[in-house]
Amino acid sequence: MRDFKELELKLVAFLRDYCKNIGVENLLLGMSGGLDSAIVGALCAKAMPQNTHALIMPTKNSDPKNIKDATEFCQKRNIKFKILSIESILGAYQESIDTNLNNIRKGNLSARIRMSLLYDYSADIRAIVVGTSNKSELMLGYGTIFGDMACAINPIGELYKTEIFEFARYLEIDENIINKAPSADLWEGQSDEEDIGYSYEVVDEILIATKNGEIYNKQIEEKFGKKTVQEILKRVKSNEFKRRMPLIAKI
């Protein structure tokens, strides 16, 4: 188990030092009401207590509980926030192309709209955009390029999702946020683990038992079955391009 006190100190110092080194005082993140953004928000608020900002950017399909959780979290942690619905932007785009977007397209577009708003607002308040993607999501490619995977810095990018749950309890994140099923809230009833096809406990144990895309702990294959392990490793490999964007040609 990680030393979460030491981890907290390192990540808070990472955020504070980055701001100092580039001469920017404000941190900005997208707050969803989910666990990852809550942890990042808590770290940012500790690093820059008077200078942490958040945008809450729902659509008509967003769960009202998530908006409430995000709002209350910001209030408790003294995070300055704005609620900006992106529904009109989505609607205007769908109307202009005269077609309905399926869930995947709408989810990706929503993520990119949110990141566009974050970067524009960061220019207004001279802030650094802080990412909220954990290592499990990054390894699996479970995110949107130039959407939720975009950021200037990411304090939780080396933490697996199962570690996120443990870290959250150390940071005293609200239990209602910790206990809710992981979801990007991209459409009604959407579930991260259903999309991935496996629980984070299974995914993380397999990911931790791999190195450079290769399994080195054969007991993992015995525990979960060779097919499951191969499916996870295939997904990691096929989504490597998301972790290396942009890919520059060698000439």
Instruction: Establish whether 136 is an annotated binding residue.
Output: no
Instruction: Establish whether 27 is an annotated binding residue.
Output: no
Instruction: Establish whether 55 is an annotated binding residue.
Output: no
Instruction: Establish whether 225 is an annotated binding residue.
Output: no
Instruction: Establish whether 69 is an annotated binding residue.
Output: no
- Separation of alpha carbons 90 and 68, rounded Å: 22
Instruction: Establish whether 147 is an annotated binding residue.
Output: no
- Largest Cα–Cα distance in the chain? 54
Instruction: Establish whether 132 is an annotated binding residue.
Output: yes
Instruction: Establish whether 34 is an annotated binding residue.
Output: yes
Instruction: Establish whether 37 is an annotated binding residue.
Output: yes
- Separation of alpha carbons 118 and 151, rounded Å: 9
Over 93-153, what HEC string results? HHHHHCCCCCHHHHHHHHHHHHHHHHHHHHHHHCEEEECCCCHHHHHHCCCCCCCCCCCCE
Quick one: how far is CA 225 from the chain centroid?
Answer: 29
3-class secondary-structure state, position 229: helix
Known binding-site positions for ATP = 30-37, 132, 161, 183
> Which positions make up the binding site?
30-37, 112, 132, 137, 161, 183
Instruction: Write out the binding residues for Mg(2+).
Output: 36, 137
Q: Tell me the binding residues for deamido-NAD(+).
A: 112
